[in-house]
């Protein structure tokens, strides 16, 4: 069961129960949190997993200017809201359950493994509500939070524009202040997940725009609350202009929206003028941990399905005695299954560790702990998203490969899960952009990646000094130590490169190294957590940890010599090269 894996990661590996000592979580105990995980998995299995294939087959369509979704979607989202999961991470004072972020992230994994395209609507709603909670005025919180947490109104974020894509600084949407304090919004937004649908009474859009005063447009972006339906029940000039037809995530509407193109569109300023990116990245950073979590959960779902198939499917003969064999009896199939397990459970562990850091930062009683935790989160957040997405695609591809032709056809869910997974390296910041941010900006400024590397080195030292550590833990620790040393050398070379040409050229390979090292660290933690056990699960954990450091880690770190030499064949290649006939 996924809830058992999530509980192990939270409480045995990452010490999530420590947060319960803080007054903000005083109403909770470990039994309650474990019951919440079991409840989430039960609802996900009963209401989300059974509709995944139907949502994939019945894509949303435009009818009279509105997006119409599959009939199975709205009842599942209503069940999620009625169970209190949208409100779960919010304080009891505003109708929530006050769950720690770590447990909320585990709940996200349960629903993400069942049907991410459906769960995405409620994940986005909770994230938008948190931005309003953090930056909204008292009247805004009173007006918007209750219907959003109840699941009557849903939420989105509207960043990208047709001409700009990921380049938010090129956004052209305008906001003109009116005499009553509201703003008239005018512009077009693109790639808006959940931007229009028929599963909620209203949709609350958080829109990035530039304030226009005296005919002059501000250089800085501001954030606005723009509901599809106004408080008085009249349309607010938010027009659906198109639905994107996608490789995967068919159940999630992805929209082109026009604000103010058909009637007046009005919004309220959220937070301070010119601070829109700061407000939005409050949501984006949460969304990036969320993408990593659903990517790992999608990998886990495909792994469990392909493993179940391999345990039952008879094919070929065993090499040892010529007897009839199951797929799992073949060494290469076991290699592929173990790789999937290593990626899926390693990714879940990294995501939950990141969520535990959020709780630790909130519960910190001194500035030093708060600062070091924040520094670690700043490094790990893009790593969590990018690594789980990148390796997740690999893992889901292996699930298809294990099953052969059966995995490639729609009789089984693994082909759908692969298509859904392929979005994750793209949205909420493409992996390439996140790699540049990590390597060119974060690694070359201030403390760089030292907060992460020091924490990894401390874990290695503790494992090597632990007299109760098993041989597997010591072996994993030695490999992690060597990789940490190599990454330091790579980062030192990149830091000395001015201007940062090599950093730009090798950002993605270095980001993958950083992710592989981080997940190897998570596997070291897991190996230490099962050190005293010798059951099947403990044996599998040790095997996966060793697989991580002897098979996956060398793949990315094999490029270290190339990075250190500074030679990239594509670095000085003229762009016209790619125009050849």
HEC states along 509-566? HHHHHHHHHHHHHHHHHHHHHCCCCCCHHHHHHHHHHHHHHHHHHHHHHCCHHHHHHC
Residue 380 CA to residue 385 CA, distance in Å, equals 9
Residue 316 φ/ψ region, left for φ over 0, alpha for ψ in the -120 to 50 degree band, beta for the rest = left
For residue range 297-334, list pLDDT tens digits in order: 999 999 999 999 999 999 999 988 989 999 999 999 99
C-alpha to C-alpha distances, 475 to 30, 291, 342, 523, nearest whole angstrom: 33, 31, 16, 12
Over residues 409-421, mean pLDDT: 97
Over residues 365-388, mean pLDDT: 93
Give the pLDDT score at 104: 96
Same fold for the domain at 2-149 and the one at 153-274? no
pLDDT band per the 50, 70, 90 thresholds, residue 263: confident
Q: What is the DSSP letter of 136?
A: -
Give the pLDDT score at 284: 77
Task: Give the tokens for residue 203.
Answer: 């949709």
What percentage of the chain exceeds 70 in pLDDT? 100
Residue 110 CA to residue 256 CA, distance in Å, equals 30
Find out whether 291 and 389 touch, Cβ atoms under 8 Å: yes
Does residue 467 surpass a pLDDT of 90? Answer: no
Over residues 522-546, mean pLDDT: 96
Residue 108 CA to residue 293 CA, distance in Å, equals 7
Q: What are the extents of the domains in the chain?
A: 2-149, 153-274, 446-570
Beta bridge partners of 225: 206, 268
Does residue 567 surpass a pLDDT of 90? Answer: no
Query: Greatest CA separation found in the chain?
Result: 85
Over residues 555-573, mean pLDDT: 87
Does residue 438 surpass a pLDDT of 60? Answer: yes
Over residues 215-229, mean pLDDT: 93
pLDDT band per the 50, 70, 90 thresholds, residue 350: very high
20-29, 110-119, 369-378 — most confident range: 110-119
Task: Give the tokens for residue 501.
Answer: 């040409």
Give the pLDDT score at 581: 53
Residues in contact with 466: Cβ distance below 8 Å, sequence separation at least 6, in sequence order: 473, 528, 531
478, exposed or middle or buried, with CB in 10 Å at 0-12, 13-18, 19+?
middle
CATH of 2-149, one of 1.10.287.130, 1.10.540.10, 2.30.42.10, 1.10.510.10: 1.10.540.10
Which tops the pLDDT comparison, 40 or 287? 40
Does residue 424 surpass a pLDDT of 90? Answer: yes
For residue range 447-461, list pLDDT tens digits in order: 789 999 999 999 999
Does residue 481 surpass a pLDDT of 80? Answer: yes
Average pLDDT score, the chain:
94
Over residues 121-148, mean pLDDT: 97
Task: Give the end-to-end CA distance of the chain in Å, rounded to a whole number.
Answer: 53
Over residues 86-107, mean pLDDT: 95
Find out whether 111 and 40 touch, Cβ atoms under 8 Å: yes
pLDDT band per the 50, 70, 90 thresholds, residue 272: very high
Fold of the domain spanning 153-274 = Butyryl-CoA Dehydrogenase, subunit A; domain 2 (2.40.110)
Task: Give the tokens for residue 355.
Answer: 């969520």
Q: What is the DSSP letter of 262?
A: S
């Amino acid at each position: 069961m996924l809830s058992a894996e999530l509980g192990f990661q939270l409480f045995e590996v990452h010490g999530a129960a420590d947060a319960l000592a803080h007054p903000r979580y005083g109403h909770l105990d470990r039994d309650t949190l474990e019951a919440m995980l079991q409840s989430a998995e039960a609802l996900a299995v009963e209401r989300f997993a059974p509709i995944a294939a139907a949502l994939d087959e019945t894509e949303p369509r435009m009818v009279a200017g509105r997006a119409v979704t599959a009939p199975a979607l709205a009842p599942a989202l209503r069940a999620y809201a009625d169970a209190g999961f949208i409100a779960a991470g919010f304080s009891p004072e505003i109708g929530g359950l006050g769950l720690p972020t770590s447990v909320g992230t585990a709940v996200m994994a349960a629903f993400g493994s069942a049907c991410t395209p459906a769960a995405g609507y409620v994940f986005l709603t909770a994230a938008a509500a948190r931005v309003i909670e953090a930056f909204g005025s008292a009247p805004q919180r009173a007006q918007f939070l209750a219907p959003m947490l109840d699941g009557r109104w849903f939420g989105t974020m509207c960043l990208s524009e047709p001409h700009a894509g990921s380049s938010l600084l090129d956004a052209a949407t305008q906001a003109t202040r009116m005499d009553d304090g509201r703003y008239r919004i005018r512009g077009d937004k693109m790639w808006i997940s959940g931007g229009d649908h028929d599963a909620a009474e209203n949709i609350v859009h958080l829109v990035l725009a530039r304030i226009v005063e005296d005919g002059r447009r501000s250089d800085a972006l501001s954030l606005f609350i723009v509901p599809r339906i106004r408080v008085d029940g009249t349309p607010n000039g938010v027009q659906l202009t198109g639905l994107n037809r996608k490789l995967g995530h068919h159940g999630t509407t992805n929209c082109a929206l026009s604000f103010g193109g058909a009637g007046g569109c009005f919004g309220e300023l959220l937070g301070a003028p010119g601070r829109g990116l700061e407000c939005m990245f409050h949501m984006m950073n949460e969304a990036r941990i969320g993408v990593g979590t659903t990517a790992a959960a999608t990998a886990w779902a495909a792994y469990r399905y392909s493993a179940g198939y391999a345990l039952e499917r008879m094919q070929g003969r065993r090499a040892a005695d010529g007897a009839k064999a199951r797929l799992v009896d073949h060494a290469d199939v076991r290699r592929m299954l173990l790789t999937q397990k290593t990626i899926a459970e390693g990714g879940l562990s990294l995501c939950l560790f990141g969520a535990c850091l959020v709780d630790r930062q909130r519960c910190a009683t001194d500035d030093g702990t708060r600062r070091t935790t924040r520094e670690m989160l700043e490094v790990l957040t893009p790593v969590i998203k990018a690594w789980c997405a990148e390796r997740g695609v690999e893992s889901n591809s292996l699930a298809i490969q294990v099953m052969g032709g059966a995995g490639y056809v729609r009789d089984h869910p693994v082909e759908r899960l692969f298509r859904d997974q392929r979005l994750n390296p793209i949205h909420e910041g493409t992996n390439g952009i996140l790699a540049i941010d990590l390597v060119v900006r974060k690694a070359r400024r201030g403390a760089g990646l030292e907060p992460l590397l020091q924490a990894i080195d401390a874990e290695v030292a503790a494992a090597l000094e632990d007299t109760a550590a098993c041989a597997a833990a010591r072996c994993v620790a030695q490999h992690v130590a060597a990789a940490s040393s190599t990454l330091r050398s790579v980062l030192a070379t990149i830091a000395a490169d001015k201007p940062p040409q090599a950093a730009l050229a090798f950002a993605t390979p270095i980001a993958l190294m950083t992710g592989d090292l981080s997940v190897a660290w998570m596997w070291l933690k897991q190996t230490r957590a099962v050190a005293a056990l010798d059951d099947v699960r403990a044996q599998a954990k040790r095997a996966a940890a060793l697989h991580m450091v002897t098979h996956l880690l060398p793949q990315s770190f094999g490029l270290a010599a190339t990075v250190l030499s500074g030679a990239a064949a594509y670095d000085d290649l003229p762009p016209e090269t790619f125009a050849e006939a």
